[in-house]
Amino acid sequence: MRHKFLNIRFDKIDLAILESLQNNGRISNNDLAELIGLSPSACLRRVKSLEESGVIDQYVALVQQSAAGLPDDVFVQITVEKQTREKLAEFERKVRECPQIMECYLMSGDADYLLRVVVSDASDYEHLHMEVLTALPGVSQIKSNFSLRTVTKKTSIPFRSG
Q: Which range, of 3-12, 20-29, 74-83, averages the lowest pLDDT?
A: 3-12
Inter-axis angle of helices 12-23 and 29-36, nearest 10: 130
Task: Mention every residue, 6+ apart, whose C-beta is less than 8 A from residue 110.
Answer: 77, 79
Strands 139-146, 113-119: pairing is unpaired
Q: How confident is the model at residue 1 (pLDDT cuts 50, 70, 90)?
A: very low
- Position 160 scores a pLDDT of 73
H/E run at residue 44: helix 40-52
Q: What is the pLDDT of residues 73-126, one digit of tens each?
A: 999 999 999 888 999 999 999 999 999 999 999 999 999 999 999 999 999 999
How distant, in Å, are the alpha carbons of 72, 86, 125, 136 from that of 131?
18, 23, 10, 9
* Closest of 148, 147, 136 to residue 112, by C-alpha: 136
Q: In order of start, what are the domains of the chain with their CATH numbers?
A: 12-52 (1.10.10.10), 70-146 (3.30.70.920)
